[in-house]
Copies of this chain bind each other. A is one copy, B any other.
Amino acid sequence: MKSTFGKNLTVALFGESHGPAIGAVIDGLAPGIPLDPAHIRRQLDLRRAGANAALSTARQEADEFEILSGWFNEHTTGTPLTILIRNQQTRSGDYAKTKDLLRPGHADYTAYAKYGGWQDYRGGGHFSGRLTAPIVAAGAICEQILAAHGITLGTHLAECAGIADAPLPADETALKAAIAKVNAKPFAVLDDAAGEKMQQAILAAKSELDSVGGILETAVVGMPPGIGEPFFNSVESVLAHLIFSVPAVKGVEFGAGFGFAQMRGSEANDPFRMAGERIVTQSNNNGGVNGGISNGMPIVFRTVIKPTPSIYQPQQTVDISRHEDATLQIQGRHDPAIIHRARPVIDAVVALGLVDLFCEAYGTGWQANI
């Protein structure tokens, strides 16, 4: 598989940034799930260009989606559900002028090397961040399945342009409330003052023809223990696989993550204790996962998003048609930051990965036992 993911719940992603349409076929949904299209719409809006106009690209796509199959009488049918989003605002001319100049930090050169020049280069083609729209739609379906099983998840901008948000609370009830709070915000921070500074920093970078990155932090609350498979299909393996599929992600750490390097075992281990009938850990350095399998504590991880590679400063590069050094002045419509738009994408892939793992243990039918 290439642009297809999943074993029990399969997502086949298709489309190019400037082609007729993008979309996804989701195979493996249970029948009878009463999806709320408004939730799909809401997640797409969080992702789409234009939600925060000043912060984002000027390409204003409505991202209207059509469900082509697998949906009947306002419920899933159990057969493949297809989501189609037509591309509207394509201004391909922006790309034709500079098509031979490899954009640093983008997939232009690697796509050229892989596809020998046959790829649709316009706007990054199949490598465009635009392809995350159908992923968000598919993920929004899975988020509803998880929610019906008491599992909620959310992501905040833990850091952007060097400015830190307030930390997620350790306490599970407080954490769940914090997730609900950020999920309701277009710019996902716990501390709105920090969020304000981040947005100013993004605009500052924009005014300097530059871009910024940051760190997203995600929490999943309500996971039962025992989900995930040993070795090659651990929760961490499956989630990291999906998260690294998201454009601009360059690192993922669970729980204490890279902080473990300076800990001793006596600090790092999370002691178990009884909390009524339930077994919990006193700390959560392991981010809710032991031996690759969920332990019932919140799954917590951090994802680094690199600065948008499309910047308006002149950049050194190579002209691929002439095989000689060149200078690139990027055209088109680009974001000075994408971290706030990557937020619903991370939520989406996590939801996809978790539903796939639940189905591994409990079958497709698990989804609909609502």
Contacts and interface: CB of A to CB of B under 8 A. Distances in A.
A268 to B, nearest CB: 5
A38 interface: no
A154 interface: no
30 contacts: A1-B232, A2-B230, A3-B27, A3-B233, A20-B69, A31-B115, A32-B115, A68-B84, A77-B120, A79-B115, A79-B126, A107-B230, A113-B296, A114-B225, A114-B227, A127-B292, A213-B260, A236-B244, A237-B244, A245-B292, A247-B291, A251-B253, A260-B305, A265-B308, A265-B310, A269-B311, A277-B323, A279-B320, A360-B364, A361-B365
Which 7 pairs between the two chains have the least Cβ-Cβ distance? A107-B291, A251-B253, A363-B363, A113-B226, A31-B118, A211-B265, A110-B293
Interface in A6-47: 7-8, 10-16, 19-23, 25, 27-28, 31-32
A133 to B, nearest CB: 13
Main secondary structure of the interface of A (DSSP, over half): mixed
A8 B229 CA distance: 12
Interface string A202-243: 000100001111110000000011111111111011101111
Interface in A271-325: 271-274, 277, 279, 281-282, 286-287, 289-296, 302, 304-311, 313, 315-318, 320, 323-325
Interface stretch (A98-106, A143-151, A168-176, A185-193): A98-106
A264 B263 CA distance: 30
A271 B316 contact: yes
Interface residues of A, number: 159
B294 A104 contact: no
Nearest to A282: B316
A166 to B, nearest CB: 17
A181 interface: no
A4 B27 contact: yes
A127 B228 CA distance: 12
A179 to B, nearest CB: 21
Contact of A359 (B75, B302, B317, B363): B363
Given A79-B126, A104-B272, A260-B305, 11 more contacts: A1-B28, A5-B232, A20-B69, A70-B126, A102-B272, A109-B295, A113-B295, A240-B241, A258-B258, A266-B313, A359-B363
Number of this chain's copies in the complex = 4
A212 B254 contact: no
Given A3-B232, A113-B296, A253-B304, A21 B317 contact: no
A250 interface: yes
A365 B290 CA distance: 21
A223 to B, nearest CB: 11
A263 B214 CA distance: 9
A215 B261 contact: yes
